[in-house]
Structure 1
Amino acid sequence: MAILVRTKGQKWLPAKRLEFKDESDLQRVLHESPDLIMTHEEELPAVFIREAALRGSGFTDLVGVDASGNVLIIETKLAKNREIRREVIGQVLGYAAFLWGMSYEEFDELFKSRAGKSIADLFLEKSESISIEEIIASITGNLEQGRFKLLIAVDDINPELEKIIAYISNFRSGLLLEALEVKIYQQGETEIFVPQRHGQAIGAGGGGSPTSLTIDDVIAGAPDDHSRRLLSVLIEQWSKLGHTVQPRTAGPTFQADVRGQLQPIFWAFRNRVQALMSTLPRRGVAADVVAKYRSALAALPGFDSKSMMSDARPAIFFSGISEAEIRNFVIESAKVVEEWRRAAKACILFSLRTHKVHFLAIQRRRRASFGD
């Protein structure tokens, strides 16, 4: 198919197709311009790293995440490479299998080792309004359940690869596999990127992205009766205090209203609850309040004291605690909310007093000037 380009009012001119020198050239183009890798949610920013080392599985060409917490695994192949046929499917599935069950901390280390920055830092560079807590929770859930978006980027797709991808995409297995055919043309100083997708991703629910779980989904998905019971108690006790439990893709977030804004306090997953120690100070909780929270949790039976005192997001697994401990966890978490609200109220009162003093000073100066 010919690509024609023109400047308005001028005649149409044919654009010349540019060839990729090798697969690293295609990889570089996609890495430098991640917006070219459309994720069906084109407005969402995404971050990628190149050639992440996966022990026993080799090096992935590109691994990325978008602002919904979707994990993307991309393998690049040129038409002249014989592996563009069946082998590339095995490669990308092998990378997915290696990432399945990986902890968020291990996954984040891949980004730190290749980009020199954490996933959170890379996203905050793009926008400070992004909810890092929700991204991390979604990534955690996707890694745990093996929900990935697999993309094979090629310069020319062949019929065999196209048919394999169409076949896999036809099954509602939750596997999201597509091919991205990438062609670049040039006319003068203008370059044109022409992408074409093959194998529309079909998830378990018929869409490209996993939907939020309901509370019942979360409880039903717990691995055993004990975990289901503790999840139910956790949700019930937090709700009784007048706080909010909101289902998300990976699990529910437990929030509290502070100055009219819902703030995340902790998350829950199928088999554990996770405190947001690194998030609380960033959102305005005093350091001494967080320190007391850490110490209180570290003293609870079944809680890993070292993790509670040092980890950014310490996890408490239901298998190691009782119902009494989960109730105490809720109590200690609620204390953080009360301290946060008290400090926020004091800040408002101080601000009002400051404004009042300033206003009275202005009034006195005005009266003095009129008196003169």
Structure 2
Amino acid sequence: MSEQPVFVLGRELQSLELAEFATEAEFQELLARHPRVLDFGALADGRPLRLVLVAREMRVPSSAEGGAAYWLDHLFVDADGVPTLVEVKRATDTRIRREVVGQMLDYAANAARYWPAALLQRSFEDSCLQGGRALEEVYGELLGERSADEFWTTVEERLAAGQMRLLFVADRIPLELRAIVEFLNRQLRQTDVYAVELTQYRGGGDLRVLVPRIHGEVATAAKSPAGRRTAQRTTRADMEAVIGSRPDPEVRRTAAALLGHAAAHGRPEGGTAKYRSMSAYYPVAGRQVPVWTLSLQEGPVRDDLSFAFGSITHHLGPEGAAAFAASLPALPELADKLEALPAKGYNAWPSVSLASLAAEPDALERILSAIQSLMVMGSCGAPS
């Protein structure tokens, strides 16, 4: 069946025909100038999502020394400080099927390690200058009561924790890519992955109609406020309600102690997954760094404490991460995962169940002591 036109009714009926983007550069320029076509979902407080361009062709180094560089098509950010990485491909490009997925994951992994707040801020302000956007006006939409330094530090922290969106944008999304995106979106703990199919129709003169379709965990979840993972953030009260339902008093005590320690010495922040989760940020090396995430899942019950070694490594290097790993309790469930960290460059999320943690005498105290040592280490520098 041939593609049907779109009709615009004004003083008379006008037909708009399906039209390809002439070049990938044209496609990219469109998104840079009009990011509203990618604004699906909502911010944590329920406000509509509004993406703001940080940079087009954002350089992604492959090592701390600079190394070989990659180039991300677009980097956007929203008012919650969540970065959005975008790769654009036309349907005629065969890389849209599988190669682009590995490419995007490579970008995300290296961006989380090698994009400091100062670089992000400078890239954003340069892009505003080049695009003729008034810096004060754009910052007015982003910052709220925060300073620019505080905002970009938040963006850096989210990158290090893997809290980002990955968007694959094309004029046609093949089924192979759609299946991979849906799989990744189900599996990744902190990262949202979507494919955006942007169809273009052209009429007389400069008239164009752009129709975005979102594909993710399920297409309707991305369009429904009830289904958007970004629409509701877990609160401390939410966590306490789930903890209170657990029958084991030691599990309840352990979970409450973790949350209490985060509130007293760091900053707890609720997650946006379908299950209840909360991450703890602690002052490390002059920054608020995500150190652990507590996840409380139902049906069947699964309560896990995961350690954010990727962000710890990002701020303290492998030696600092190794010292933190060595100070954690060698629980049977956790020991093998910690031993595997060097082979992964200390860029992983080893986890332990709350039941195992609660059953081991002094394990909780050792974890809290390790966190205190991590904060001291960060103030003094990683061990040499």
TM-score (norm 1): 0.55
Which letter maps to 1:67?
Answer: A
Deviation at 1:162, TM superposition (A): 1.6
Mapped to 2, the partners of 1:120 and 1:21 lie a distance apart of: 30
Deviation at 1:128, TM superposition (A): 8.0
Deviation at 1:155, TM superposition (A): 1.1
Instruction: Check if 1:47 corresponds to 2:79.
Output: no
Instruction: Check if 1:192 corresponds to 2:198.
Output: no
Instruction: Check if 1:23 corresponds to 2:44.
Output: no
Deviation at 1:29, TM superposition (A): 0.3
> 2:375 aligns to what?
318
Instruction: Check if 1:33 corresponds to 2:34.
Output: yes
Deviation at 1:36, TM superposition (A): 1.2
Mapped to 2, the partners of 1:45 and 1:14 lie a distance apart of: 30
Q: In the alignment, is the contact (CA less than 8 A) between 2:27 and 2:88 conserved in 1?
A: yes
Q: In the alignment, is the contact (CA less than 8 A) between 1:18 and 1:185 conserved in 2?
A: yes
1:132 to 119, 125, 146: 146
Q: In the alignment, is the contact (CA less than 8 A) between 1:124 and 1:130 conserved in 2?
A: no
Mapped to 1, the partners of 2:69 and 2:104 lie a distance apart of: 10
1:67 to 79, 89, 111: 79
Mapped to 1, the partners of 2:94 and 2:111 lie a distance apart of: 26
Mapped to 1, the partners of 2:11 and 2:74 lie a distance apart of: 41
Would the alpha carbon gap of residues 247 and 113 (structure 1) be closer, same or farther in structure 2, given more than 3 Å must change?
same
1:5 to 4, 7, 17: 7
Would the alpha carbon gap of residues 247 and 20 (structure 1) be closer, same or farther in structure 2, given more than 3 Å must change?
same
Would the alpha carbon gap of residues 215 and 249 (structure 1) be closer, same or farther in structure 2, given more than 3 Å must change?
same
**Range 20-29 or range 33-42, more displaced:** 33-42
- Structure 1 gaps, min length 5: 218-226, 236-245, 251-267, 277-316, 323-372
The Cα RMSD (Å) is: 4.1
Mapped to 1, the partners of 2:142 and 2:166 lie a distance apart of: 28
Which letter maps to 1:196?
Answer: R
Mapped to 2, the partners of 1:53 and 1:84 lie a distance apart of: 21
TM-score (norm 2): 0.53
Mapped to 2, the partners of 1:129 and 1:113 lie a distance apart of: 17
> 2:157 aligns to what?
141
After TM superposition, list the pairs within 5 Å mapping 1:220-299 onto structure 2.
234=265, 248=269, 269-272=281-284
Mapped to 1, the partners of 2:378 and 2:238 lie a distance apart of: 22
Would the alpha carbon gap of residues 73 and 216 (structure 1) be closer, same or farther in structure 2, given more than 3 Å must change?
same
Would the alpha carbon gap of residues 7 and 233 (structure 1) be closer, same or farther in structure 2, given more than 3 Å must change?
closer
Q: Deviations over 1:347-371 (max 9, x none)?
A: xxxxxxxxxxxxxxxxxxxxxxxxx
Q: In the alignment, is the contact (CA less than 8 A) between 2:83 and 2:155 conserved in 1?
A: yes
Which letter maps to 1:104?
Answer: A
Which letter maps to 1:198?
Answer: H
- Structure 2 gaps, min length 5: 62-67, 240-257, 272-279, 289-373, 380-384
Secondary structure of the residue that 1:173 maps to in structure 2? Answer: coil
Secondary structure of the residue that 1:127 maps to in structure 2? Answer: helix
Q: Deviations over 1:77-126 (max 9, x none)?
A: 01111111111001111110011144322332333455459x99466455
Which letter maps to 1:58?
Answer: Y
Which letter maps to 1:180?
Answer: V
Mapped to 2, the partners of 1:31 and 1:120 lie a distance apart of: 16
Instruction: Check if 1:94 corresponds to 2:106.
Output: yes
Q: In the alignment, is the contact (CA less than 8 A) between 1:5 and 1:187 conserved in 2?
A: no
Mapped to 1, the partners of 2:181 and 2:264 lie a distance apart of: 44
Would the alpha carbon gap of residues 132 and 68 (structure 1) be closer, same or farther in structure 2, given more than 3 Å must change?
same
Mapped to 1, the partners of 2:41 and 2:209 lie a distance apart of: 21
Q: In the alignment, is the contact (CA less than 8 A) between 2:162 and 2:190 conserved in 1?
A: no
Which letter maps to 1:18?
Answer: A
> 1:108 aligns to what?
121
Deviation at 1:137, TM superposition (A): 5.2
Q: In the alignment, is the contact (CA less than 8 A) between 2:265 and 2:282 conserved in 1?
A: no
Would the alpha carbon gap of residues 8 and 106 (structure 1) be closer, same or farther in structure 2, given more than 3 Å must change?
closer
Would the alpha carbon gap of residues 137 and 215 (structure 1) be closer, same or farther in structure 2, given more than 3 Å must change?
farther
Please tell me whether Structure 1 or Structure 2 has the larger radius of gyration of its CA atoms. 1
Mapped to 2, the partners of 1:215 and 1:107 lie a distance apart of: 34
Would the alpha carbon gap of residues 321 and 85 (structure 1) be closer, same or farther in structure 2, given more than 3 Å must change?
closer
Would the alpha carbon gap of residues 93 and 129 (structure 1) be closer, same or farther in structure 2, given more than 3 Å must change?
closer
Secondary structure of the residue that 1:15 maps to in structure 2? Answer: strand
Would the alpha carbon gap of residues 8 and 215 (structure 1) be closer, same or farther in structure 2, given more than 3 Å must change?
closer
Q: Give percent identity, aligned residues only.
A: 22
Instruction: Check if 1:178 corresponds to 2:194.
Output: yes
After TM superposition, list the pairs within 5 Å mapping 1:148-159 onto structure 2.
148-159=164-175
> 1:222 aligns to what?
none
Deviation at 1:147, TM superposition (A): 1.4
Which letter maps to 1:27?
Answer: Q
Secondary structure of the residue that 2:9 maps to in structure 1? Answer: coil
